[in-house]
Structure 1
Amino acid sequence: MNKIIVIGNGDVGSSYSFALMAQGLGSDVGIIDLDSDKVAGDVQDLTHGLAYVGPKNIYSAEYSDCFQADLVVITAGAAQKENETRLDLVKRNARIIKSIVTSVMDNGFDGIFLIASNPVDVLTHYVKELTGFPSRKVIGSGTSLDSARLRSAVGEKFQIDPRDVNIYILGEHGDTQFPVWSHGNIGGLKITEWLTQHPEFSQEDLLTLSENVKNAAYEIINYKGSTHYGIAIALARITQAILQDENAVLPVSVHLEGQYENSDVCIGSNAVLNREGVREIIEIPLDEDEMTKMQHSIQTLKQMQQTVLEDDS
């Protein structure tokens, strides 16, 4: 049985539950939220689609249901406000996360945590500190959505299927993220080679795309108040890699242990994911500019981590 507990049934949590349903992921999905009526409604609504996707147990869960769960996915937290950075959320959401994690651990959970609450890198590190779990069992959504956004943007610009665009964004899921152009490729061509063969495009076009991706969340929030479909699909992809033991490479928030010349920080990096969680972190050899950006991102997150730990003491 692949048992998933979703904690938080707001826009992200409910979209994630729907993505699990539509993709046939998890045989047992429990949803926890303070708004029990909304959970009850969503459970009933989702259950009505089972005839088209196959058997699945979807239910309103309690924290006691975390016992023997394979995966606990935390999407709960205060919403990001207009013109508010993800890092501005840290103290508010850290208190929420601590209460949730304490309740999960009190009920004997020993599976894998997947964190989507923002700021995701800081809160992923905080969950690791709270639980004492090994690094492989605490994963954040990291730059999975940002990388997907960039691949989609590049694909649209160059009229290429985004699944054939292999470019990753690393670092913070937020303002200090950066694309790794030095290792990006399209159909086996390095980005520089692609530009040489397509002179109608320039490096400036790529910079514009990456800036648009970095600011995408702010734009979507201005339009409709929150982002949730994209991250829900990214979370479902991570879930699939874990539960189906894929050994898939995805850009997620992981705990560095010497990679990129740093330790004791969670940050977006490529990693191999399987049933055990993080099998290994893939350290991409960055060029000088990219390494400078990675170090800046790391230091930004370490400062925020320290703020959380000081506030918690």
Structure 2
Amino acid sequence: MKNRKVVLVGTGAVGTSFVYSAINQGIAQEYVLIDVNVDVAEGQALDLADGNAFLPHSFASIRVGTYSDCHDADVIVITAGRPQKPGETRIDMVADNAKIMKSIALEIKKSGFSGITVVAANPVDILTTVYYEVTGFDKHSIIGSGTSLDSARLRRLVAEKLNVGAKEVSAVLMGEHGDSSTPIWSTASVMGKPIAQYVAEGKITEAQLDEITHDAIHMAYKIIEKKRATFYGIGIVLADIVRAVVCDENKAMMVGAYLDGDFGHKGIYTGVPAIINNNGWSHIINWNLTAKEQAGFDASCQQLTEVVNHARAAIK
């Protein structure tokens, strides 16, 4: 079996948290780090390489590279962009980061890359759409991190309220990775038991579910306020997405996939349930949403479409 090669673009806290998680899981054998600040990338590579002798699955190499290294990569993970400032929404960053994403996309396309791209730069729904439109790559070969982290936060908060493990909770947020995401309680369950039954039994209330939703959606602001950035959670999520790709897991995840009439919308990437394998995302799972859920998703997609148009104008 040939070595799996992963290229990371952007060696800040999110990118290196991803690589740290990936090397601990033995996801790839070769890692290449690309960053405008070559010294930082080199320092990160050296620091990460120091742990190789202690890993359960050691890797072959981790080094600094250039976009020419993308040519034969299996997966490229893009986390580059300026960070979210305190009090700023992800949408506020759109013009600056759309220009950065365009330059990255053109370099990757020029390399002859033909693998899978995972985008986690914010605002991720907008920038995944920009990357798709600039590169012209197959839409299925591009995956946004979507609402995978948002949904993980929702699951954790429900689990804490019901005193169960987070893995036992199935609950998701759909739409924007951000303020307009909407909970899909109609599909939620704990140990296979619908969340509606827990509500009916008085074990959790509708008001508590609303509070959990609010806290999950606004968790990033709380973390940024306390330590200026979020990176460990998304790093673990990105490693999970990449593992699903390279191991061809056919795993259902809340990722950014391209809507082409799905849930009544088209022309943008956003957080929806999709199957992930070594072709990227193979298909979206179309649930029958309640009227309230559909309205929430509609509002999120409408906002994203408006912001995508701003991003398009910024990179003309």
Which interval holds the TM-score relative to the shorter structure?
Answer: over 0.9
Answering whether residue 260 of structure 2 is matched by residue 257 of structure 1, we say yes
Q: Hey, what does 1:5 align to over in structure 2? A: 7
Q: Which residue of 1 aligns with 2:134?
A: 130
1:311 and 2:311 aligned:
no
User: Which residue is equivalent to 1:55?
Assistant: 58
Amino acid at match of 1:102: L
| Unaligned ranges ≥5, structure 2 | none
Question: CA separation in 2, counterparts of 1:86 and 1:42?
Answer: 26
1:163 paired residue number: 167
Corresponding residue for residue 228 of structure 1: 231
User: How much has 1:312 moved relative to structure 2?
Assistant: 2.2
- Per-residue CA distance 1:9-35 (angstroms, 9 max, x = gap): 111011111111111111111111122
Counterpart Cα distance in 2 of 1:62 and 1:200? 54
1:111 is aligned to 2:115: yes
How far apart, CA to CA, are the structure 2 residues paired with 1:78 and 1:311? Answer: 16
Partner of 2:146: 142
1:253 counterpart SS class: strand
Pick from 296, 301, 316 the counterpart of residue 298 of structure 1.
301
Q: Amino acid of the residue matched to residue 124 of structure 2?
A: V
Separation in structure 1 between the aligned mates of residue 156 and residue 4 of structure 2, nearest angstrom: 30
Query: 1: distance between equivalents of 2:181 and 2:203?
Result: 27
Give SS of 1:20's match. helix
Equivalent in 167, 177, 181 of residue 173 of structure 1 = 177
Partner residue in 1 for 2:277: 274
TM-score for both structures, normalised by structure 2: 0.97
Deviates more, 1:38-47 or 1:288-297: 38-47
Letter in 2 for 1:3: K
Correspondence list, 1:145-224, <5 A: 145-197=149-201, 199-224=202-227
Residue type at the aligned position of 1:46: L
- Pair 1:244-2:259 in alignment: no
Residue deviations 1:158-191, cap 9 Å, x none? 1111101001110000110011001100111111
**SS in structure 2 opposite 1:4?**
strand
Look up the equivalent residue of 2:161 and give its one-letter code: K
Displacement of 1:134 in angstroms is: 1.3
What is the CA–CA distance in structure 1 between the aligned matches of 2:205 and 2:93, rounded to whole Å?
36
Instruction: Tell whether 2:43 aligns with 1:41.
Output: yes
Q: TM-score, normalised to structure 1's length? A: 0.98
State the match for 1:70 in structure 2. 74
Task: Report the count of equivalent residues.
Answer: 312
Counterpart residue number, 1:17: 19
Report runs of 4+ in structure 1 exceeding 6 Å deviation: none
CA deviation map 1:209-232 (0-9, x unaligned) = 110011100010000000000000
CA distance in 2 between partners of 1:6 and 1:201 (Å): 42
- Distance between the aligned counterparts of 1:124 and 1:201, measured in 2? 36
Q: Distance in 2 between matches of 1:128 and 1:207?
A: 34
Q: Which of 86, 89, 92 is the equivalent residue of 1:85?
A: 89
Which deviates more, 213-222 or 35-44?
A: 35-44
Q: Which amino acid aligns with 1:241?
A: A
Distance in 2 between the 1:40 and 1:259 partners? 42
Q: Tell whether the 8 Å contact from 2:102 to 2:315 is kept in structure 1 after alignment.
A: no
**Partner secondary structure for residue 295 of structure 2:** helix
C-alpha distance in structure 2 between counterparts of 1:125 and 1:200, whole Å = 41
The answer to whether residue 34 in structure 2 is matched with residue 32 in structure 1 is: yes
Structure 1 residue 42: Cα displacement: 1.6
SS of equivalent residue, structure 1 residue 279: strand
Q: Deviations over 1:108-142 (max 9, x none)?
A: 11111110000000110111100111110111000
- The Cα shift of 1:100 comes to 1.0
> Deviation string for 1:32-51 (max 9, x for gaps)?
11222222222111111111
Letter of the structure 2 residue corresponding to residue 86 of structure 1: R
Shift of 1:200: 4.5
Deviation sequence 1:232-270 (CA, Å, 0-9, x none): 011011001001000000000110111111111111000
Q: In structure 2, give the amino acid aligned to 1:124.
A: T
Gaps of 5+ in 1: none
Q: Could you tell me how far 1:52 is from its partner in structure 2? A: 2.0
